[in-house]
Structure 1
Amino acid sequence: MLAIKNNYKNLIYILIVLLNINYINCKWKIWDKDLDWWQTTVIYQIYPVSFQDSDGDGKGDLEGIKSRLDYFTETGVKTVWLSPIYKSPQIDNGYDISNFTDIDPMFGTLDDFKSLMKAIKERDMYILLDFVPNHTSDEHEWFQKSVKRIEPYTDYYIWRDPKQVFPNGTNAPPCNWISLFGGPAWTYNEQRQQFYYHKFTPQQPDLNYYNNKVREDMKKVLKFWLDLGVDGFRVDAVKELTEDPELHDELCLPQYTTCDNDYLKMNHNYTGDWPDTYGVIYQWREFLDAYAMSSPNKHTRIMLTESYSSLYNVMLYYGNGTNEGIQLPFNFHLMYGNIELNSTVYKYLIDIWYDNMPEGKWADWVTGNHDFPRLANRVGSELLDGFAMLSMLLPGTSISYQGDELGQTNSMIRKDQKRDSHNANVRIQRDAGRGPFPWNDTPNGGFSTNKFTWGVVNPSYWEMNLEAQKKAEKSHYKVYKQLIDLRKKPTIQRGDLNVYLVSTWVLAFTRRLPRNESYVIIVNFGSEIEEILLGKTIPNLPDKLSVAVSSINSDYKDGEILDTKFSIHNPSKLLILRPKASVVLTTDTTVVPTTAPENITSTTPTSTTPKSNSVHVTSDNYLTWFTLINTIIVNYFRKYF
């Protein structure tokens, strides 16, 4: 039992086996509503300080981003999301904001931002900004005035008296809450003679969302950037937004007898996913919708949320039946990918999102971000194209992290080069995944003319760079670009979904839409060559399919025609996939019936009776199980990755 408790990975597999691999397909059906701009786009995260340096100081900036906008036009990316560019002391790489409505000099000026906005709109693109509402920098004017009890800022932050004053004059914190970055989440301010709460560093005091003036001021922040033309926001650390106002102590997780002030050993039910958080989010959605309706350009302004939470809590960001929530709660299921997971787990991670997503809502698929090791390091470079196919071709919006489209790997960071010193409790070296973008084979990969750059340039830039991949006959970048083109197809935008377990290590899914091309996507997650009988594995296939996109390690060429009907006299008709290889197969519209059979147009089987070797699991059971599994995976990632 102790071995299970201390090995999250094994427990994941045990729970998956208990659920049985042959549960029914997910509930996603054909999308018959209008499509908004954010549903058909690819959202591309830019980490500004490592994207492009324009002035030779070794740090990326707004002018650098502007100079590279043609890259997105050429690639087909319509939406860029910028990590924080606000004025900041840079204690936590820009997530400690001292002015929400100004640009940090490291990136340029507000005029530089306006110039960037103009260039983006000229290219018919969209831009999202990071919105960091949980806290400010302790250098923010609000906090400085709150320390001095200057109204109306006295209660803008979470201040509490000491729980106890010891005989030696030391003060006990109000409760036992722990900072995500290590140590107590309470810091005593001598001037005010009270503790203030901070989920992250002491230089990042949490705002008090039980103060309506705070809520109104944050709406003013949103409006400031909306007035400049911003199309939406990604909300950082949203699960931490509100806390238990009664300050109950948090307890150890059931598997631990003592916590030892270890963040990962504690149940953070009083400081994370607190119910009042959703009300704040619903207010912001209402505000964004009202802004769009009253503005000359009435296109939708969107909001995305980052929350490493149980599936139940994540789904609440969509809304609660009474209040409309945000458009895209981040779906991190593909972020859990690693070489240990087989097709059963991936099918589960796909199905469970759609099965629990509220009716009429839209999915998204995230494959990387600045807080995790690079995708190539998590799953291996051989599987990059397969993950791109999952993210791009499953129903929903695809969200990419800069450099992953090339297969950029982690930079090697020496101790003296480390910048991220505030991440002790999650135990992930985040600097490695934030290296500069490799544009070409010139010094520093074309990122900067300065010998010393903000982040460590990956030394492989001389061969692994964008320019080289553009020239190559086949490359990760070219696959990425092909998949973006495929996302323009009605079938990919609106079609139904069926997911198949081809074998232990091979996953397939189909996208079908009457009177349009059908697509079959097949990914081999295993380390061995797989031989696949397409016609016997996937029902209702035509006799022939053509290769629309193939991974760079696939033996198939784009446009190659494949037979789906296997004959003992013609074994060459087997689809043979190399280890970690993947393909997208398609058929002409002439082979798709004008009126598709029911089992083609719907992902729900005509019979809901489980197969004899299956266990029927209801959506409610999915939710219960996944709440546990999702928490385990998150903790596994944080503790062991």
Structure 2
Amino acid sequence: MSPHAIVKNSTNQWWKNATVYQVYPASFKDSNGDGWGDIPGLISKVDYLKDLGVDVVWLSPMFESPQCDMGYDISDYEEVYAPYGTVKDVEDLVAACHERGMKLILDLVANHTSDQHAWFKESRSSKDNPKRDWYFWRPARYDENGNRLPPTNYRSYFAGGTWTWDETTQEYYLHLYAKEQPDLNWDNPETRQAIYKSAMRFWLDKGIDGFRVDTVNKYSKHVDFPDAPITDLKNYIQPARHLFCNGPRIHEFLREMHDEVLSHYDVMTVGELSNTPDPQHVLRYVSAAAKQLDMVFQFDMIHLGMGHGLEDKYDFTPWALTRLKQIVKKWQQFIDGTDGWTTVFCENHDNGRAVSRYGSDAPQHRETSAKMLAVMQTTLTGTLFLYQGQEIGMINAPKNWPIDEYKDIEGLNYYKEADRQSNEGVDPTRRARIMRGLQILARDHSRLPMQWDDSEYAGFGTAAPWMRVHDLYKEINVARQTGDPNSVLSFYKRALQLRKEYAELFIHGSFKLYDGENENTFVFEKVGKGPGGNGEERALVALNFSKDVQPFSMVERARDMKLLLSTHAESVSESLLPFEGRVYVTERSGLVN
């Protein structure tokens, strides 16, 4: 056991009160002028994160990788991708965070590896290789005309099928994502032990403080691999998420991971839990008694605007505020009376920017809607996760950027599929529809370089970055907002301070929705323990999600409360200005103004 290892116990739950900040290494800060962000660049900004109010830094994959999927295709868990730095740089980052009372978590990507990983190279070398069963290999099927077919008809997350033919051994291998990302076979106990050693203990013993666990509910598949039912008549490949999400052994695997590895360290885990809409099933993952995960990301809110089903993900569908409110209510209340925990987030590396999706990125509204979303996020129950640039109100790439500016493999694959379908007359309007969806929802929007100042390349580095800098970087950047008391950045600092000051109310309090059918405003109440655990405190949060002035239906209740935080310096109590957000609390002695 490492000198950092501390046996985990149910009373040491520092992660509940934490604000976590996700760093996408390629796009955060370039220290050496090669166009790629890197770990030394992140180290140079740790004081910035500390000043913001961050408790935990989450560093997205920085491992050795061919970068087919921006590092989520790992070829060596124990090495760092050279443009990002070295293992020593990660050790220095751990030290820099710990010296400031902060913690560091990494991504655990263990559903799949790169096809360049040594394990897969061995696995594909022959049918009798000892690592053959570390991945999923299956023989071909054939139709009535003798044409070769893959073992199943599953659609992948990146468009196309989930099986790729390998000439060497004349079999197919499974990949839920890109063909360069073969799925690991968790049913093989040797595979699991290798993951625990190489992907987990190697880094835990260097002092990291936990993991964000990628694609956590896909480890267990239905290994008899039945065909998916035909629901998409236009394609051979079919949606099949129910056959590879939340599989029959998933809870067994996660309990083993906890007992054999995680329980020996004082760490946090947060799982990426897609396609699990039932709160009772989510509780099976996050119940403290279950000893699997501390919390998960549930994606109902993130999926707003996405089309119906995996095949139509980027076919944008307008959504209603009533739907957003019901989603928030559902995932705020599902832990009531349980030993489970939840998360709060509205941005990450896989989605468009929150201001552009839930607020307005029009010049007259983008700052106020960014602040309004900050009010919502910082007053909700659970561990708060922010994504780089969220704190300055970064927005989506301009809609006039052509598809050539997009880099993400998923978005490009969807566009190529739509382009083919349009050209072949299968769906003549699909290319335009998918492009519109990408302009709103694409993963690329969150991956634009961080906007530090108004110098060339937005202060990201001294050379042209791997991805184009946003056209508005001179208007939206850290330097411009630092020291400005009315900036989005200053507002986030204030809101994060109040979240800590009123932790029992905002982080741990219970949630109640008001006026659920209103399509313009979102009003909710939080109830929690008072200072020192004495008595009860209440907060009333009012958010205007529209571009128009809206009546404030709870004005009478608010009259007996203290205005704690507002997006606007001046407003009318009976009305909410466009994208205004307010927080009222019951009076408390020693209130910080």
TM class, shorter-chain normalised? 0.7 to 0.9
1:67-146 to 2 correspondence within 5 Å? 67-146=44-123
Opposite residue 273 of structure 2, the aligned amino acid is S
Q: Does 1:548 align with 2:564?
A: yes
Task: Quickly say closer, same or farther: Cα 1:194–1:122, change in 2 above 3 A.
Answer: same
Q: Displacement, 1:341?
A: 4.9
Correspondence for 1:580: 579
1:262 and 1:425 in contact (8 A); partners too: no
Which structure has the bigger radius of gyration?
1
Q: Answer yes or no: is 1:407 the counterpart of 2:393.
A: yes
Spell out the pairing of 1:243-282 with structure 2 (5 A cutoff): 243-253=221-231, 256=232, 258-261=233-236, 266-282=239-255
C-alpha offsets along residues 603-635 of structure 1, whole Å, 9 cap, x if unaligned?
Answer: xxxxxxxxxxxxxxxxxxxxxxxxxxxxxxxxx
| Separation (CA, whole Å) in 2 of partners of 1:251 and 1:309 | 17
CA contact under 8 A between 1:395 and 1:494: conserved in structure 2? yes
Contact preservation (8 Å) 2:221, 2:247: yes
CA contact (8 A) 1:479 1:550 kept: no
Whether the 8 Å CA contact 1:524–1:580 is kept in 2: the answer is: yes
Question: Aligned residue for 1:238?
Answer: 216
Contact 1:47 1:370 in 2 (8 A): yes
Quick one: structure 1 residues 456 and 214, their matched pair in 2 at CA, closer, same or farther if it must change by over 3 Å? Answer: same
The equivalent position to 1:302 in structure 2, one of 254, 268, 277, is 268
Contact 1:523 1:582 in 2 (8 A): yes
Q: How far 1:527 moved relative to its partner?
A: 3.1
Mean Cα deviation higher: 237-246 or 434-443: 237-246
Evaluate the alpha carbon distance shift between residue 531 and residue 103 of structure 1 in structure 2; reply closer, same or farther with a 3 A threshold. same
TM value normalised by structure 1: 0.76
Could you tell me whether the CA contact under 8 Å between 2:104 and 2:210 is conserved in 1? Answer: yes
Specify the SS of the correspondent of 1:330.
Answer: strand
Please give the per-residue CA displacement for 1:304-358, whole angstroms capped at 9, x wherever unaligned: 1112213227605525797322111103344245796555333311221244337
Partner-residue secondary structure (3-state), 1:528: coil
What is the CA–CA distance in structure 2 between the aligned matches of 1:51 and 1:83, rounded to whole Å? 11
Q: Which amino acid aligns with 1:84?
A: P
Structure 2 residue runs without a partner (length 5+): 1-9, 306-316, 361-365, 416-433, 532-536
Matches within 5 A, 1:310-325: 310-312=276-278, 315-316=282-283, 318=285, 323-325=290-292
**Which position in structure 1 is the counterpart of 2:352?**
373
Deviations 1:395-427 (A, max 9, x none): 111111111111111234444433223443496
Indicate the residue corresponding to 1:600 in structure 2.
Answer: none
What SS does the corresponding residue of 1:549 show, helix, strand or coil? Answer: strand
Q: Which residue of 2 aligns with 1:421?
A: 409
Task: Quote the residue 2:511 is aligned against.
Answer: 497
Cα 1:531–1:320 change in 2 (3 A) is: closer
For 1:291, which of 264, 285, 298 is the aligned residue? 264
Describe how 1:140-219 pairs up with structure 2 within 5 A: 140-149=117-126, 151-164=129-142, 171-219=148-196
**Deviation for aligned residue 1:288:** 4.1
CA contact (8 A) 1:316 1:325 kept: no
Q: Secondary structure at the match of 2:561?
A: strand
Q: Is the 8 A contact 1:334 1:365 kept in 2?
A: no
Aligned to 1:460, the other structure's residue is in SS state coil
Structure 1 residues 510 and 163: CA distance shift in structure 2, 3 A: same
Distance 1:279 1:323 in 2: 10
Deviation at 1:433, TM superposition (A): 2.4
Tell me what 1:360 maps to.
Answer: 339
CA gap of 1:430–1:507, structure 2 versus 1, over 3 A, is closer
Aligned match of 2:206: 228
**Aligned equivalents of 2:47 and 2:100: distance in 1?**
9
1:80 partner letter: V
Amino acid at match of 1:172: L
Structure 2 residue matching 1:233: 3-state secondary structure: strand
Q: Report the 3-state secondary structure (helix = DSSP H, G, I; strand = E; otherwise coil) of the residue aligned with 2:49.
A: helix
The yes-or-no answer on 1:509 pairing with 2:475 is no
DSSP-derived class of the 2:21 partner: strand
Given that 2:287 and 2:339 are in contact with CA atoms closer than 8 Å, whether structure 1 keeps it comes out as no
* 2:458 aligned with 1:471: no
- Distance in 2 (CA, whole Å) between partners of 1:425 and 1:274 is 26
Task: Find the aligned partners of 1:142 and 1:361 in 2 and give their Cα distance.
Answer: 36
1:432 is aligned to 2:445: yes
Report what 2:424 is aligned to. none
- 2:256 is paired with a residue whose SS is helix
Using the TM superposition, give the Cα deviation of residue 67 of structure 1 relative to its aligned residue in structure 2, in angstroms. 0.4
Contact 2:483-2:490 at 8 Å conserved across structures: no
From 445, 448, 451, the counterpart of 2:461: 448
Deviation at 1:251, TM superposition (A): 1.3
SS of the residue 1:449 aligns to: coil
Compute the RMSD of aligned alpha carbons.
2.7
SS at match of 2:385: strand
Query: CA 1:522 to 1:336, structure 2 compared with 1: closer, same or farther past 3 Å?
Result: farther
Greater Cα offset, 186-195 or 275-284: 275-284
Deviates more, 1:87-96 or 1:329-338: 329-338
Q: Which amino acid aligns with 1:69?
A: V
The CA deviation at 1:457 is 0.6
Matched residue pairs, number? 525
The Cα shift of 1:477 comes to 1.2
CA contact (8 A) 1:187 1:202 kept: yes
Q: CA separation of 1:411/1:317 partners in 2, compared to 1, >3 Å: closer, same or farther?
A: farther
Residues 331 and 366, structure 1, Cα contact 8 Å, conserved in 2: no
1:66 maps to: 43
Following superposition, the deviation at residue 71 of structure 1 comes to 0.6
Partners in 2 of 1:587 and 1:290 — Cα distance? 40
8 Å CA contact retained: 1:59, 1:454: yes
Residues 466, 183 of structure 1: alpha-carbon distance in 2 compared, 3 angstrom cutoff: same
Q: CA offsets, 1:351-392, max 9 Å, x none?
A: 212443371211111111111111121122343222222222
User: Match of 1:80, SS?
Assistant: strand
Whole-angstrom CA distance in 2 between matches of 1:417 and 1:526: 31
Match of 1:523 in 2: 543
Which structure 1 segments of 5+ residues have no match? 1-32, 293-299, 557-571, 593-641
Task: Give the counterpart of 1:383 among 348, 369, 386.
Answer: 369
Contact kept in structure 2, 1:180 and 1:425, CA below 8 Å: no
SS in 2 for 1:391: helix
- Indicate the SS of the match to 1:101: strand
- Look up the equivalent residue of 2:328 and give its one-letter code: I
TM-superposed CA distance for 1:506, in Å, is 1.9
Q: Residues 218, 171 of structure 1: CA spacing in aligned structure 2 closer, same or farther, 3 A cutoff? A: same
Contact map agreement 1:332 1:367 (CA 8 A) in 2:
no
SS at structure 2 position matched to 1:274: coil
Q: Take 1:585 and 1:262, find their aligned partners in 2: how far apart are those partners?
A: 52
The 3 A distance-change label for structure 1 pair 275 and 475 is farther
